[in-house]
Structure 1
């Protein structure tokens, strides 16, 4: 018996298929772009027990539109998990969301009469006897802020969006210098779209995989603290899907000091415009600060060509630094847990 996690090539987005063949269970986590569905998801499967759409950014949600349009004739699906005012039973006075694709998605789900519901920290999805998902983000606070404030914030971003200002990974700093860079994550009220991302711990038998979507590091570290984890009692994971494609703005030293893991999944082709991922700072800090769970080496799994990413964005540490700090880059979009 095994679990298969496939990270589709979704450009600078996220799209994962998780399968437990013995129980004939499979589900999707995000759907990338529309072409992600056409070129990858649709060729791999025509059914899913459910889909988790972690948040409303286009690189996570847009591929769901053609998929749901294919329901039920060409794609079999039982349920969609997505956070929207319509998916939360509690009445709200301000339920407007200015992200057009989020509202359009809800309209499509309702028109197709496809069941959907929200997810919040503290819930657990029991998928099968051996497989469950513990939801760790968002909290009710972040979800309320998403509904109440997101309309104005996203309206401003849509009018003045110039992309995230992330410099090239030029070799202007050494490995040690990168590790000493201060945290650069934004405050939660200024990052409510990502802070309201659905993040979860996948439990399969005795294995644990942390799926961070684009979640905010403080939301995750606060959750781990509440569970009793800290810099001496660390939370151990077999794999971690990095938040926001490996952005340095989605990690914190507090969070990195609380986890133990030596396998990290990065879903990106390098980003777009000035939003370039992954950031070399992220890789350096992970290699230096994260406990490797009893392993000498630390592994970074890429679902796109590493050389193409480095050609576009600059080097992700030198070969000498990777050798010295026992850092492996692996091009592999399938992980199997047994």
Structure 2
């Protein structure tokens, strides 16, 4: 059985993925430092694989106390993270300001814990039943990120999402144009690791905070189109369901009725998920034969609504068979 735990990491990401038949564990991102202390350590004291998708603090900071506990309090097998020393490329020298990523990189070296990069086209075998097809980042996008790594002044910027008392209809939102940033202005997310997880005959898409054009470029490369869609059993949405991390083209190329979100609603000026993201998926995506479309949350939905406003109204849920579900654990056979 494949067991997936969508760990509560506030506005961050952390997933524990287990093959219970083969006793193999993959930890995907670690949220914030308190995520490790109060959530991850309560679930496990060892993992066979650790993947850190990118350098944003809500994904990587929890890995710092985890590695500090290695090897006596927490056991880690293979580590995958895209930092300069994991991927050989000439980079311009300059001041380094992605402090959490640098701290982690130095800590891995200090602990003599080996690590390596992941790029599009590679495959990672987790167990007899689980393999990962890496679909992001591309080699070119990773090289651009690493080239900027040492002169970066700010690794991320908040999405322009804020609570709005003027509710736009779900039908109008579903017709909205793309709002994602250019890859060069969003190069940290363009370098985010994303993969297709295969478990027996099941396909799950874990997008990290991946840029939508990197994903659609890969899907096109393997022959996927609006006429030949990729069928997924579950999709973990990029960047907590932000409207800046999804595209109409991506939606046209997939078939899926189950979407996983990791968020408590966000904070400050960065609130998520976007009502527009849910609307576009609910009205435009192919549901793979299902009447319902399901959005799974790892925090109470009412708390998320209180923080960032309306997601989907009761009337809209009924009209379009949309289900908002509080569920953080998934068992797939």
- TM-score, normalization by structure 1: 0.96
- The answer to whether the Cα contact below 8 Å between 1:171 and 1:315 also exists between their aligned partners in 2 is no
Aligned to 2:15: 16
Aligned to 1:187: 182
The question of 1:226 aligning with 2:221 is answered yes
- The answer to whether the Cα contact below 8 Å between 2:89 and 2:143 also exists between their aligned partners in 1 is no
Alignment of 1:240-255 (within 5 A): 240-255=235-250
- The answer to whether the Cα contact below 8 Å between 1:169 and 1:316 also exists between their aligned partners in 2 is no
Aligned to 1:69: 68
In 2, the alpha carbon distance for the partners of 1:141 and 1:213 equals 18
The question of 1:34 aligning with 2:29 is answered no
- The answer to whether the Cα contact below 8 Å between 1:169 and 1:279 also exists between their aligned partners in 2 is no
Aligned to 2:113: 114
Aligned to 1:262: 257
The question of 1:50 aligning with 2:49 is answered yes
Aligned to 2:167: 172
- TM-score, normalization by structure 2: 0.97
- What's the CA shift for 1:292? 0.2
- What's the CA shift for 1:129? 1.6
The question of 1:146 aligning with 2:153 is answered no
- What's the CA shift for 1:275? 0.3
1:52-104: CA deviation from partner (whole Å, max 9, x where unpaired):
0000000000000111111000111112100011011x342436653111111
Q: Tell me the SS of whatever aligns to 1:220.
A: helix
- What's the CA shift for 1:148? 1.4
Matched positions, count: 332
- What's the CA shift for 1:169? 4.9
- The answer to whether the Cα contact below 8 Å between 2:134 and 2:194 also exists between their aligned partners in 1 is yes
Stretches of structure 1 that go unaligned for 5 or more consecutive residues are none
- The answer to whether the Cα contact below 8 Å between 2:19 and 2:129 also exists between their aligned partners in 1 is no
Stretches of structure 2 that go unaligned for 5 or more consecutive residues are none
In 2, the alpha carbon distance for the partners of 1:22 and 1:95 equals 47
- What's the CA shift for 1:150? 4.1
Per the alignment, do residues 334 and 137 of structure 1 end up closer, same or farther by CA in structure 2, a change over 3 Å counting?
same
In 1, the alpha carbon distance for the partners of 2:82 and 2:91 equals 16
1:247-306: CA deviation from partner (whole Å, max 9, x where unpaired):
000000001000000000000001110100000000000011110001010000000111
- What's the CA shift for 1:149? 2.5
Q: Tell me the SS of whatever aligns to 2:21.
A: helix
Q: Tell me the SS of whatever aligns to 1:295.
A: coil
Q: Tell me the SS of whatever aligns to 1:9.
A: coil
Aligned to 1:94: 92
In 2, the alpha carbon distance for the partners of 1:277 and 1:314 equals 10
- What's the CA shift for 1:151? 4.1
In 1, the alpha carbon distance for the partners of 2:216 and 2:89 equals 30
- The answer to whether the Cα contact below 8 Å between 1:322 and 1:328 also exists between their aligned partners in 2 is yes
In 1, the alpha carbon distance for the partners of 2:250 and 2:210 equals 12
> Of residues 306, 328, 336 in structure 1, which corresponds to 2:323?
328
Aligned to 1:198: 193
